[in-house]
Structure 1
Amino acid sequence: MLRWIVEGNSMAESGNVASVMADYLVGAGVSHVFTYPGDPTIEFLEALRRSGCEVVLGRREGTAVFMAEGYAQATGRLGACVSTLGPGSTAIVNGVAAATWDRVPMLAISGQIETAREQFFTHQVVDHQALFGPITKWAGRVEAAAVGVTLRKAIRTATAERPGAVHLSVGGDVFKTPVAGTDVVVPPLEAERLGIEVHRAPTADADTVGALRRARRPVILAGIGAVRAGATESLTRCAETIGAPVVVAPMAKGVLPEDHPYFAGVLDMACNTVMWDLLAGSDLILAVGFDPVELIKPWTLRVPVIHVDALANTDQIYRADIELVGAIPVILDALSGDWQGQPRWAEAEVRRHRENLSALYYAGRNPDRLNPTDVVDGVRAALPPDAVVSCDVGSHKLLVGQGWRTTRPRGVLMSNGLSSMGFGLPAAIGAKLADPGRPVAALVGDGGFAMAATEMRLAAALGLPIAVVVFVDESLNRIELKQMAQGYPSTATRIEPMDLTRLAESMDCDGVRVETVAELEKATGSLGELSRPLVIEAVIDPAQYEHQF
């Protein structure tokens, strides 16, 4: 096999396009590639196997790509998936788009018909560049004469700020084409910024630190850019120095430990009115790595904003007359180092805000039924602090986003850029493969579970002791609530009941049905000691959802 290096020159050996591509993925730190194979990709899958990369068979292409996204979210490394031509490539569109909008580095590779027939043949032939161009950072094509530079461009583009998906199309004959003397040189995967760029509008305050010092009620709004920058220590120090509560975006949960006195909650999840009220009541917002792709509600605030990120504020979703562009930890440390004066918020003030948030979060709880918040609390209590939880999309996601407590970044995985259903279960599989030593659970609705349920058999075959907790209310609740709000009957939002316990057992998993808090506590009592996958069918009373949103 070809040998790879990062920076410098490799000892070139002969191989084919497939082996060069495999060595680039391994060189970029990819340990697992997720796929549903087809004729054109056979050579590439064999090259991956020989390279030592584990090739994982999803039960369909659409879930395999979510496994790659979960792997990338949990590790911060490049995720990779492989599909075949035609319907295989169209089936990964949703997951590829999710990676782009969720700001996750991913390389998606699709086989294609052999080059000689691609221009005129029609059976299973899809124009990949036209299909993937609008939903990726780049949609390219691999040719034997340029395989090295193409892979370098693909990896560098996928991992550069803001990260996202890159798609490569490869003809089945191209994979087999011999190449000689190809050096496998992986491009830089991490940035090191030494300077800070300061951008000001013509009317902006010339003294950035002075503008911050003059604020009496500043609030920090932290997003996924801060997670990618590894800014937890600097963010914590800045919050403590300034005395500013920290509101986080959903995919940035854990960037400030959620047991910290200045943690103030999560934006645009459950009880979002009180979170927006906190921001509206401030006199300055320090937006730290905040990505507007996560906004669910429109930005209507008139509060001044200082933008802190690796990229300029090109979105213009919010107005920021001062932009500090560079390494986020460096910028935060500079602001903390130049600070003078007392902390602006007392810890007691932030605590009262959290108490109010908590009271609203538990509003509508029925003590005689199993409530959605009971499930979130029960699973959280049963898992250690370093556990990873993946979450699907639906009403339960808004509760998990606000109520699940995590103390470290990448402890909660969710799709909140594209917000795609079907993410939670395959993402948990990807996360567990990435780090087998950490406990992993998936919190999913019955609708999202139905989209990916057969992947439980894969989890069992791989021996992955993950817990999958299904919020069962036999409804697509978020849409049903909106139908009710407009006086419409439930239409196409009811899900027929399923026996998830028997379904789990048929796929060599354990299964248990719970309808009370006591039954939930019993079922979750051994989550840290699972020997094989467990499905918990949590039959909830959805009435509490009406009080949350």
Structure 2
Amino acid sequence: MTDGPSVASVMADFINEAGVPYVFGYPGTSNIEFMEGARQRGVETVLARREPTAAFMAEGLSMATGGLGVCLSTLGPGSTALVNGVAAAQLDRVPMLAISGQIGTAKEPFFTHQVVEHERLFAPISKWAGRVDAGSTATIMRKALRLATAERPGAVHLTTNADVAKATTTTDDEVVLPPMEAAAVAGQVHRRPGTADPTASLREARRPVIVAGIAAVRAGATPELVRLAEEEGIPVVVAPMAKGVFPENHPMFAGVIDMACNQVIWDFLADADLVLAVGFDPVELIKPWEIDTPVVHVDAVANTDQIYRADVEVVGAIPALLDWLREEAASGPAWSEADLAPHRARLTDEYYRGRVDGRLNPTDVVDAVRAALPREAIVTTDVGSHKLLVGQGWTTYEPRTSLMSNGLSSMGFGLPAAIGAQLAVPGAPVAAIIGDGGFAMVQGELQLASSLGLGIVVVVLVDGSLNRIELKQQALGYPSTATRIEESDLVRLAEAMGCDGERTDDLATLEKALEGSAGRDRPLVIEAHIDPAQYLSQF
């Protein structure tokens, strides 16, 4: 055993080896050494305006690329502020490494100023809350990265004491990442005695439906999913964070579960005689799974959640499993496009229900932004009534181009996630569709987006309300309490932060403001005053 490089430099080596281009955070004394190590290796540290938004930027980068998101904070209030973003990554199933500095090891047992026990703070909201040590830095980093990226992926938090970060390592362990390629073999079938095997179930089904989720995105299962749907004639419903795993312009696309029009989707699933749950993660469910339709669970992990009952589980590499089911079932199309047409028509009618003629409706905004951007554009959305409409109505053609927090479902996600996505995929047009409540939480990040020269389009739906909660108050006959938001001049705000600003309350002006959205070199903020009446009809 010999003295080696510094702990911070070994950590930076692992981050670089993992292909991480950016670290997002708010620095402090205890992470200076790590940031310098990252800089020397070409990994840029992006100064977010707040620690939670730093984590959301890391989430946006990871969601857009499938890679690891990394964020950092200092000790004390920096670490406690990071909590919401770490919890979001954990429940959104996003691989994230969060690093927080800490006071020197000699003082930590007795000193109280800004000292928080990170392991106790982050353990409930992460896959692992660990601590970096000079004698095992490489091993700890391998464990952290493997845990963050292993099924199901999520957040790992590491604490780095100030004296440890600049200490020399005392191990000869190499900077080598563990293998992380998915298996190409099918896997195992588990079923309750007396039930049919999954291929027989699929052959016998006359109205099967696929529900595809985020694990199918992680597995890159789109080609296999499309082949199964086309050859066996099976409609595909997708989960919100899996939008694009099945092209939404495909004639067998059947909608998004638990977004707007959710009753239409649940009625459709209840009428099916078999549900293939392909990589579906119940963390996205807003409404309980109450239908009696038999379920075949197809995933990389077993049905440990038990949110739905599945008498048959097929566990392994999702793409290989889908090909195996298709080849073995081979029963011919169960549904035709004509069979599916009534459901698709009902879904469309329900989506536009409640529009007010002559006003700017929420669905008008979604449609206008979608029409203004090319099919490869990335959209992020915040949390609120508008998210449910974007989730159902934004036509998504490819995976990882429609990004939302639907596990933790945290407000404040949309704008920082758009920044992370734009940095990760610089050639793609990026738009963020945000409510005025969520925007108020993170509007300071506009200045960062401007300083980075990011041409993101930020559309703020202004109705002066925390609409989801206000609607519930109204349903109970209560007055609007703590759910009204004061009007702000977002155009002047945008201009003060180095962005362009536009204001609209009608569709024609919105469409004009969106002209030339692609190819911008600074953010555009559109203050879109909407009529919220459509929300009442929808929800």
TM-score range, shorter chain: over 0.9
2:458 is paired with a residue whose SS is: strand
Is 1:190 aligned to 2:181, yes or no? yes
* Superposed displacement of residue 211, structure 1: 1.3
Cα pair distance change 1:342/1:192, threshold 3 Å: closer
Please give the residue correspondences for 1:353-372 in structure 2 after superposition, counting only pairs within 5 Å. Answer: 353-372=343-362
Give the structure 1 partner of residue 480 of structure 2: 490
The aligned residue for residue 9 of structure 1 is: none
Q: Please give the alpha-carbon distance, in whole angstroms, between the structure 2 residues aligned to 1:141 and 1:15.
A: 18
Moved more, 469-478 or 187-196: 187-196
SS at match of 2:460: strand
Paired residues for 1:450-465 under 5 Å: 450-465=440-455
- In 2, the alpha carbon distance for the partners of 1:318 and 1:341 equals 26
Taking the aligned partners of 1:478 and 1:445, their CA distance within structure 2 comes to 11
In structure 2, what is the equivalent of residue 130 of structure 1? 120
Tell me how far 1:13 sits from its aligned partner.
9.6
Cross-structure match for 1:6: none
Which moved further from structure 2: 444-453 or 188-197? 188-197
Structure-1 residue corresponding to 2:267: 277
Describe the SS at the equivalent of 2:106: helix
Q: Which moved more, 1:436-445 or 1:341-350?
A: 341-350
1:232: which partner in 2? Answer: 222
* Cα distance in 2 for residues equivalent to 1:83 and 1:314: 33
User: 2:327 corresponds to which letter in structure 1?
Assistant: G
Q: Secondary structure at the match of 1:470?
A: strand
Q: Secondary structure of the residue that 1:103 maps to in structure 2?
A: coil
2 CA distance for matches of 1:545 and 1:245? 28
User: Residue 471 of structure 1 aligns with which residue?
Assistant: 461
Alignment of 1:106-117 (within 5 A): 106-117=96-107
Aligned residue number for residue 381 of structure 1: 371
Percent identity for Structure 1 against Structure 2: 66
Q: What secondary structure sits across from 1:116 in the alignment? A: coil
Q: Deviations over 1:415-465 (max 9, x none)?
A: 000000000000000000001001101000000000110100000000011
Q: Structure 2 CA distance, aligned partners of 1:208 and 1:220?
A: 13
Contact kept, 8 Å, 2:303 with 2:313, in 1: the verdict is: yes
1:51 and 1:212 map into 2 onto residues whose CA distance is 51
Seen in structure 2, the aligned counterparts of structure 1 residues 293 and 97 have a Cα distance that, compared at 3 Å, is same
1:182 Cα shift?
Answer: 4.2
TM-score (norm 2): 0.98
- Aligned-residue offset at 1:241: 1.6
- Of 70-79 and 13-22, deviating more is 13-22
Pairing 1:400-479 to 2, within 5 Å after superposition = 400-479=390-469
1:201 aligns with 2:188: no
Aligned to 2:325: 335
More displaced stretch, 350-359 vs 80-89: 350-359
Q: Which runs of 5+ in 2 are unaligned?
A: none
1:174-185 alignment to 2 at 5 Å? 174-179=164-169, 181-185=172-176
Tell me the distance in 2 between the aligned counterparts of 1:119 and 1:437. 49
TM superposition shift of 1:317: 0.6
- What letter is aligned with 2:179? P
Aligned to 1:246: 236
Asked whether 1:515 is paired with 2:501, we answer no
Distance 2:3 2:414 in 1: 41
Equivalence for 2:291: 301
Structure 1: gaps (5+ residues): 1-11
Aligned to 2:315: 325
d(CA) in 1 for partners of 2:180 and 2:85?
22
Aligned partners of 2:199, 2:403: CA distance in 1, in Å? Answer: 34
Q: CA deviation at 1:340?
A: 3.1
User: Secondary structure of 2:190's partner?
Assistant: strand
Q: Is the 8 A contact 1:232 1:256 kept in 2?
A: yes
- Cα distance, 1:82 vs structure 2: 0.6
Separation in 1, partners of 2:67, 2:320: 22
For residues 13 and 349 of structure 1, the distance between their equivalents in structure 2, rounded to whole angstroms, comes to 70
- State the 1:365 CA deviation: 0.6
CA deviations 1:259-295 (Å, max 9, x no partner) are 0010000000001000000000001000000000000
CA shift digits 1:233-256 (9 cap, x unpaired): 000010112211100000000000
Equivalent residue pairs, number: 537
Distance 1:14 1:435 in 2: 36
**Match of residue 33, structure 1, among 17, 23, 31:** 23
Find the counterpart in structure 2 of residue 17 from structure 1: 7
Preserved CA contact (<8 Å) 1:241 1:339: no
List, as ranges, runs of 4+ consecutive aligned residues in structure 1 with deviation greater than 6 Å.
Answer: none
Match of 2:383?
Answer: 393
User: How many angstroms does 1:531 deviate by?
Assistant: 2.2
CA RMSD after TM alignment: 1.1
Q: Does the aligned pair in 2 maintain the 1:513–1:536 contact within 8 Å?
A: yes
What is the letter of the counterpart of residue 375 of structure 1? V
Question: How far apart, in 2, do the equivalents of 1:469 and 1:515 lie?
Answer: 12
- Aligned-partner residue type, residue 202 of structure 1: P
Output one character per residue of 1:17-61: Cα deviation in whole Å (capped at 9) or x when no partner: 000000101111111000100111111111111111011000011
Structure 1 letter corresponding to 2:507:
V
**Counterpart contact for 1:20–1:184, Cα < 8 Å:** yes
1: CA distance between counterparts of 2:259 and 2:16?
Answer: 37
Deviates more, 1:340-349 or 1:438-447: 340-349
Spell out, residue by residue over 1:205-235, the C-alpha distance to the aligned partner (whole angstroms, 9 max, x if none). Answer: 2x32111111111000000010000000000
Match of 2:58 in 1: 68
- 1:504 paired with 2:502, answer no
Tell me the amino acid that sits aligned with residue 350 of structure 2: L
Report the alpha carbon displacement of residue 349 of structure 1 after superposing the two structures with TM: 2.1
Q: Following TM superposition, by how much is the alpha carbon of 1:528 offset from its aligned partner in structure 2, in angstroms?
A: 1.1
Give yes or no for contact 1:14–1:182 (8 Å, CA) kept in 2: no
In the alignment, the residues of structure 2 paired with residue 272 and residue 520 of structure 1 have an alpha-carbon distance, to the nearest angstrom, of: 28
Aligned equivalents of 2:404, 2:533: Cα separation in 1: 24
Partner of 2:535: 545
Is 1:269–1:402's contact at 8 Å kept on the other side of the alignment?
A: yes
2: CA distance, partners of 1:448 / 1:297: 23
Cα deviation, residue 499, structure 1:
0.2
Instruction: Check 1:50–1:13 CA distance in 2 against 1; reply closer, same or farther (3 A cut).
Output: farther
Task: Tell me the CA shift for residue 356 of structure 1.
Answer: 1.0
Provide the C-alpha distance between the structure 2 equivalents of 1:75 and 1:297, rounded to a whole number of angstroms: 29
SS across alignment from 2:135: helix
Cα deviations by residue, 1:495-541 (Å, 9 ceiling, x for unpaired): 00000000000000000001100100100011013221110000000
Partners of 2:435 and 2:186 in 1: CA distance: 45
- Name the CA distance, whole Å, in 2 between partners of 1:78 and 1:339: 37
For 2:181 and 2:344, how far apart are their aligned partners in 1? 36
| Superposed CA offset, 1:303-338 (max 9, x none) | 110000000101111010110000111011011112
For 1:54 and 1:182, how far apart are their aligned partners in 2? Answer: 26
